[in-house]
Chains A and B, each alone.
Chain A
Amino acid sequence: MLKTSKFGEYKTENDIDVYINNTDKFKTNYIHIDIIRPLSNEKEVSQNALIPYILYRGSQKYPTNQSISHRLDDLYGADLNVSVARRGENQLLRFSVEVINDKYVEAKESLIKKAIDFLYELIFRPLVEKGDFKEEYINKGQSFLKEKILSLKNDKGSYVIERCYQEMCRGEDFSLYTLGTISGLEQSRQDNLYQYWQDILIESPIELFVIGDIGDSDGLYKYINQKFTDHRDKKLPLNNTFIKTKDFKLKELEEEDEITQSRFCAGIRIPITRSHPLYFALIVYNGMLGGFSHSKLFTTVREKRGLAYYINTRLESTKGLILINAGIDMVDYPIVKEIIEEKIEEMQNGEFEEENIEWSKKKLINRYKTLSDNNHSIVDAFLLGLINGKKDSLNYVINSIKQVKREDIIKVANQVNLTTYYLLRPGSA
């Protein structure tokens, strides 16, 4: 029997979407807010990324980082998370707090309501001095974000993936790094950031999620509705993604760095995203090509040839991108490229075992069922559905995966365009 629970959907009077999932599965209650912006230009992306890192330094009620920490301590060591993410050509400004379920502690007042109050204070009641965010916090936020942008190169795996995205989507908004750029960050001080933040809060979609042992969902919604009363006039859409369908050319690039292992990334474009009828065939295709350890690429490159410790594919399902990435020995690069092209072609010609389809489907179904066992994954998956205008139930997803046919997979395979090869190899940086 499938154990699944659903979000109750609400909307506050000032147009904030509220989703409440009432379940006693977890030991904690999780509150998560996404503010969604179009991934537009260097300056704005950098400004958007900067503000969350200013906000968590102090609010009107909790004016210092230390008083914020003390507040979290009071809430039984609540976990505050502030981050910035990219889904398609949308930038998500994310704020979340996770607290212990009330029934496990001797709390006088509901921890979940206190956590909601706390997030509200942080986002809607920031510390303002002379009409802008506190100068010191802006400076701190800027230097922290600058280091964060620069530190991308410390993790070679992530660096290569980001560089590949940049090159394959050059000229498109998707090539903007989630956290912005150094030059964008330098321009960010031209505006009054506090005013800019007020505009964001007024015009952007705001999605608020609560998962946990809530008891009375309607009551909690009422509480949220009474709390989040700031004036809003939502103007922006949930999704701002452009999907490229033609004019593909293969581009090859190499860079050097002082490293031991070469890392490569191959970029594939495919004009199929979550709302497309072939979407479920696409996720099966991705699993068969390189998404799973029984996939064509993993079995050939690692199991048969011993050329890599890791090789995998990842799907960006809002923009329609597949990346293949691996850590290899530089001398093997031509062989690995050859294998990739061969496997892509085999998929196009329908040269794949029935087993590969079946196993991939089973693993996908396993993965989707498991997803509902993790409160953070539930939010992530649901949000991707919202952005793409497809709030599919778990049962619908599972049935759709089961119904994917061989022909559908071949159809997907023939819409695949290999556009980019990127290699980071040992040398002088």
Chain B
Amino acid sequence: MIYKNFSNIGEEYYEKKLDSGLNVVLIPREKFNKKHAILSVDVGSVDLKIKDNEENVYEYPKGIAHFMEHILFENREGSIIDKFSQIGSSVNAYTGFNNTNYYFNTTSNFFNSLKYLFGFVLNPHFDDERIKHEKSVINQEINMYQDSPSWQSFYQLLQSLFYEYPIKYNIAGTQKSIEKINKKTLIDFFEKLYNLNNMTLIVIGAVQPDKLFNWLEKEKNITKQGNKKFVLEKIYPKEPNGIRLEEKDIAMSISRPIISLGYKENRCFQNKDKIIKQDLMTNMILEMIFGKSSDHYHALYNQDLIDENFSFNYMREKNTGFAKIYAETNSVDKTISGITDIINNWEREINSEDFEVVKHKYIGRYFRSLNSFETLSSQIMKYLNLDQNYLDIIQMIKDISLKEVREQYKNLLEEKEHVKIIIRTVHK
């Protein structure tokens, strides 16, 4: 068992890998009523191809991880949601690029809820009729996102940035791809990937460490799976450098045009400790260039090229990374050239004063993130996958040097090659 006391932020941290392979993290929060637990399975929408230790390769239809998330909510005993409701807890789930997460929130009945959580995630029941039913629900979900301009702008950006990497596909798949999913594919996918060695449980709330770990050692759903060990390798297509498409121009029923610009990371460090650093540094760079205190933000703002809806961020994913800049504007061309001109000319200006201010800003933002259990658990998970601890981030921020930041800026933006997504208003 690992125990850490982060007294600088007032948090304690427990972590233990159980014999069964399940990794468990507990962050005690004695003063809260709410207890939150999330079981994160290390498989997401980008995991469409795997290889076992005998060199057999398996391929799955797009959207399978998300489909699994849906289908597990109904098993032999009926609706999972009802079981949780019965004890006053709320259960939900979501699928990301890299993992699938099942979680509950409760104020009493924590251990019963935890039992139910393992119960439904580890004991599936795949039924043909249920599969058919879930397809129609997911089709409605896909349709719902189609009509969201912010979702469209993000999805189109990924489609244009990437040639092969499956992050470019809709997490839910397409109506066509989910048609291919059947009982057999689900059983196969579950057997290979829903393995305790592939899962992490994170608990936040007033739960005593001894009580939690003792309970987990005895819970039969977890112990019985202990021996099943697969050695699996996830296979990703090789992603060429450079962007797939320079520009995409579509129309939707919206009030004014939306643009997003994407810059692809061509030099992704594979060392896990560098990934988080790269993520932090690049976001800090963007903050220095385009943040609300920057001269550039105000120049664009005063020319009416951007307003409060302007946003930017850098996402460092497994094997890839990209920066995205988003604006709503009535002057599409001017806004795009305004932003790209800044990026093309910025590097001389990084100064140490701005850099210190940005560090402060990040620390402020970080403390706010600790107030939400949901944000905290998803960040803990993201960092854990990279062998880092989210509670340790202040030290990481303090350690970043100006020199490293300057170098990273060149890496990301030296090519100057970028994707433009323009969503225009439909003509009436």
Contacts and interface: CB of A to CB of B under 8 A. Distances in A.
Interface stretch (A10-18, A306-314, A341-349, A414-422): A306-314
Given A27-B370, A76-B360, A309-B137, A147 B307 contact: yes
Interface string B154-186: 000000000000000000000000000000000
Interface stretch (B80-88, B95-103, B218-226): B80-88
B140 A293 contact: no
Contacts, number: 175
A94 B144 CA distance: 31
A289 B104 CA distance: 22
A104 B8 CA distance: 7
Question: By CB atoms of chain B within 10 A, which of A25, A99, A153, A293 has the most?
Answer: A293
B33 to A, nearest CB: 4
A299 interface: yes
Interface string A391-429: 000000000000000000000000000000000000001
A60 interface: no
Interface residues of B, number: 65
Nearest to B108: A366
Contact-size category for A:
35 or more
B190 to A, nearest CB: 21
Interface in A298-338: 299, 302-303, 306-310, 327-329
Contact of A370 (B105, B254, B308): B105
Given A66-B293, A260-B147, A27 B367 contact: yes
Contacts of A259: 146-147, 253
Nearest to A262: B143
A3 B81 contact: no
A79 B364 CA distance: 8
A154 B149 CA distance: 7
A66 B293 CA distance: 5
Given A76-B363, A77-B365, A100-B363, A258 B90 contact: no
Contacts of B362: 77
Contacts of B291: 69
A79 B368 contact: yes
Question: By CB atoms of chain A within 10 A, which of B79, B147, B255, B295 has the most?
Answer: B147
Contacts of B140: 261, 307-309, 327-329
A104 B79 contact: no
Interface stretch (A126-134, A266-274, A357-365): A357-365
12 contacts: A25-B31, A27-B9, A76-B360, A77-B363, A79-B364, A79-B365, A79-B368, A154-B149, A306-B136, A355-B86, A359-B82, A366-B105
Given A77-B362, A365-B88, 7 more contacts: A66-B298, A151-B254, A152-B255, A307-B140, A327-B144, A373-B32, A429-B426
The 6 closest A-B pairs by CB, nearest first: A77-B364, A362-B88, A77-B361, A261-B143, A150-B255, A309-B141
